[in-house]
Structure 1
Amino acid sequence: MSHLDRRQLLRAAGVSVCLPLFSSLRAGGNETSGQSSGRKPRMVCIGNMLGFHPEAYWPTAANAKSDEGLTIHRDFSLGRSTAPLRAISDRMTMIAGLDHDTAGGHFSVHTFLSGVRQIDAKTMPDANVTIDQYAAETIAGQTRFPSLTVGSESGIHGGCQLSWTRTGTRVPPITGPEQLFQILFVGNSEKDKVAAADRFKLQGSILDFVRSDANRFGRTLNRQDRDKLDEYLTSVRDVEKRIGLRRNWIDIPKPEAPFDRPKNRNMVEDLPLLYDLIALALQTDSTRIATLEIGGDFNPRDLGVDGDYHALSHHGQLTERIEALVKLETYQIEQFVRFIEKLSAMNEGEHNLLDQTSVLFGSGMGNANSHNNVNLPVILAGGGFEHGRLLAFDKNSSHRPPLTNLFVSMLQNFGVETDRFSTSTGTLRGLA
């Protein structure tokens, strides 16, 4: 079966990204509960590739009563790098003490939104699908783009690895504001529409060929291999559904561009613009799900800081390096705050966009200097949750939940009827 590798089939179909099993399609295309009420929940997940210096990131708080390993603080002092969060303190919650119980240093950063290492994906029912792709399956066809993944293709681990499909495939990122602008606002001409129609026709023809060839080959297989072949053909059918949904958008105009096409500069200068474009994508309902990875080509010199970002994260407790690192991390927090304030200023009906958007900010790296993946930095903003708090879970408590419990809560808030995700044991306690 090696020459019938799933990825080869998918590439033959001209699709190099995810092949999820769309839950909403299997249910006949019914909208989720959140959608049927007229509400349009959104989700944005932002991941930092190198984490944050813990001593500058984590807040301090007075002692409070703990209940089964959870302490809820309403009065706490932010750290040096997180000080900008004061501006949005009523719209965000910091969560301490959670992780995925994985190890591997930088090579486990990709578990941030899934809870599953890629090497362990085959042992999991949903592989290492990330929360964004899981949610996108439930609203397939309702927006032009089921999800948007933004990040760099450079970096210490071979490019953006924030989003993964349930087939164990990395979702390639949109690599800069110029490319994201192009996707969101360019392509309304008749020439573009004809080219898109021709592309869909070619992909359909390739899928017909793949299916025919696979069926013919299947007559020579034993039962075990026929079962494997059925899995491949299921993937082919999923591609056909996805192509059909994308084809429906050919004649629907894209929104008018709010400004001229930008040029890519560098990650430091591009970061606020990427946030602005993601906000516009949500506001125009081009998508309701987006992820953004910060890292890769984030160059300290573009902030006037000497050194390499990765090298600075391994500061060896040297004061000069720590101060440089904190400057980089503070800038990232500042841009996150700016994004939250922008969503707060965008109105949709009786509510602002932030009220309908769950925004997760954090990292799959707990402390890059010591290469650990415990006590991950996690901030949740918006989404209608109760905020203005620090939820601190005791890492030594037998009641400490996995980070994936937060993802169950976020999925339910998004309108997905589920009580599990990946390694979860339920929803996250203390989150209201």
Structure 2
Amino acid sequence: MRNTHARQIDRRTVLRGTGAMMALPLLEAMLPKTSQAAAGIEKAIPKRMGIFYFGTGMNMREFEPETEGKEYQLSPTLQTVSKHKDDFTVLSGTYLEHGGGHEGDYTFSTGVKAKDSGTIKNEISMDQLAAEQIGRETRFPSLQMCVHRGTGFGGNLRTLSWNRNGIPLASENDPHILFNRLFKVDGPEEQEIRQTGFRQRRSILDAVMDDAKRLERNVSQQDGVKLDEYFSSVREVEKQLERDIDWSVKPKPAVDTNGMSDFSESYQIHMPSGQFVYERYAKMMYDLIALALETDSTRVVSYVVRQESSGGTFDEFGVSKGFHELTHHGNDPKNLAELAKVDRIYLSHWDYFINRLKSFKQIDNSTLLDHSLLGFSSGMGIGHSKDRLPTCLFGGKAVGIAHQGHLRLPTNTPLSRLWHTMLDRLDVQTGETFQDSSGVINELIA
């Protein structure tokens, strides 16, 4: 029987055993007694967010509903997530001014024309703006994920995240590596290797800064400006190093993976033929996102679910072509049917993800989904257009979102208005202007 008059537990309490330490999840007993009223508990539950990219669009003829409002009729493709109808809003009319034609991945989360006349120059992405403000208290300010590792810079992107200097942040694609990074408790030997790495990084940074400062005395005013930008970048690396050192001595959370896949071995798209099953992979990645958010290991996630242009279909899907080839459908009924089939397969994995988020109950009996804002869309609609994007917002009921079913926005509404709305509900300050947004979507504000 639980003690109804139990003493308050410190939020930093850890469990010690067999030489290892593991952090506890957020418990009601960790809250100050004066804050156990509903308002206090609500404030104690972190707000989370995720943005998700489905490259090369979707078959909008099967995705976009014909009716509007809260009582709208689900489209054939959205029937895949029908049991979550009250937990999401379909947003028609979204638009990427610099999207379409396979370059929407570069502007998706930043809103700027990043690729111009052979040069690439981007700005901070919306998720990194959030990471700067709501990611400070977590081990990982943000997580970047993709079916392929790296950035893909110069080609089809593998990341949606760009720092304040317009540098793309690399994604990880192996669930095994991600799981270990998030939850594996390191032994003494691994800890020593990490500490050695910290010392080496510090030595390199010190040497680089010393050389740069000597050089600064002998350069022009214009070069001095460039060096100042360089110093800012180095200071950003230094801050991250200090964060890594600080978090290295804090225990990682214990997680229950019962009912989930085995994360003990590497599982990647590049495995030998016949050994990789995308459905298993998708569930592993979505499970990891749910675990990371639930344990407050991060509050900000970006995931390139399907890369722009390349790949996108797998043998198990039972279709005749790659996803990009299918989008060049030529109004062929078979191509259009297979395109919609692939869309529904991806949304069936999304359905699994939403179910997982709903399975995590919070201390006020709400769900993890209620405290998470999840936006998905693409860099194009159908026919490689920059409008009529497949856009949805899931979750967020506990952070001030009022779902509208199917909300038809004015033609060519910037996608950034959705990002603006999400950031607003997360209490992230965006400044006087945010990308090309004209303001939050008021209909979604509770």
Shorter-chain TM-score range: 0.7 to 0.9
Q: Secondary structure at the match of 1:358?
A: strand
**Deviation at 1:376?**
1.4
* Structure 2 unaligned blocks of 5 or more: 1-39, 268-275
Aligned residue in 1 for 2:134:
139
Is 1:377 aligned with 2:390? yes
| Structure 1 residue 290 displacement after superposition | 1.0
Aligned to 1:333: 347
Contact residue 347 and residue 353 of structure 1 kept, 8 A: yes
1:104, CA displacement in angstroms? 4.6
Partner of 1:95: 91
2: CA distance, partners of 1:263 / 1:231: 38
1:279 is the counterpart of 2:290: yes
Return the offset for 1:38.
Answer: 2.3
Q: Partner of 1:358 in structure 2? A: 373
Distance 1:401 1:200, change over 3 A: same
1:79 aligns with 2:92: no
Q: 1:164/1:120 Cα in 2 relative to 1: closer, same or farther (>3 Å)?
A: farther
Tell me by how many angstroms 1:302 deviates.
2.1
In 1, the alpha carbon distance for the partners of 2:107 and 2:424 equals: 21
Q: CA deviation at 1:329?
A: 0.4
> Structure 1 299/401 Cα, relative in aligned 2: closer, same or farther at 3 Å?
closer
Q: Does 1:408 align with 2:404?
A: no
Among 399, 416, 424, the alignment partner of 2:437 is 424
Residue by residue over 1:70-96, the C-alpha shift from the partner in whole angstroms, topping out at 9 and shown as x without a partner, is xxx222222221112321110101111
Deviations, residues 385-405 of structure 1 (Å, cap 9, x unaligned): 11142111231xxxx642212
Q: Tell me which residue corresponds to 1:106.
A: 102
TM-score by length of 2: 0.79
Q: Residue 117 of structure 1 contacts residue 128 of structure 1 at CA under 8 Å; is this kept in 2?
A: no
Equivalent AA in structure 2 for residue 116 of structure 1:
V
Match of 1:213 in 2: 211
Tell me what 2:124 maps to: 129
Identity %: 32
The TM-score, its normalising length taken from structure 1, stands at: 0.82
What one-letter code is carried by the residue in structure 1 that aligns with 2:76? Answer: R
Range 215-224 or range 152-161, more displaced:
152-161
Q: Please show how residues 117-266 of structure 1 align to structure 2 within 5 Å.
A: 117-119=113-115, 127-153=122-148, 157-256=155-254, 258-259=256-257, 260=262, 261-264=264-267, 265-266=276-277
- 1:41 aligned residue: 47
| Match in the other structure for 2:18 | none
From 315, 336, 355, the equivalent of 2:329 is: 315
Counterpart CA distance in 1 for 2:186 and 2:41 is 28
Tell me, yes or no, if the aligned pair for 1:300 and 1:306 is still in contact at 8 Å.
no
The separation in 2 between residues aligned to 1:103 and 1:136, in whole angstroms, is 24
Deviates more, 1:86-95 or 1:168-177: 168-177
Amino acid at match of 2:218: T
State the partner residue of 2:11: none
Q: Which residue identity is paired with 1:300?
A: F
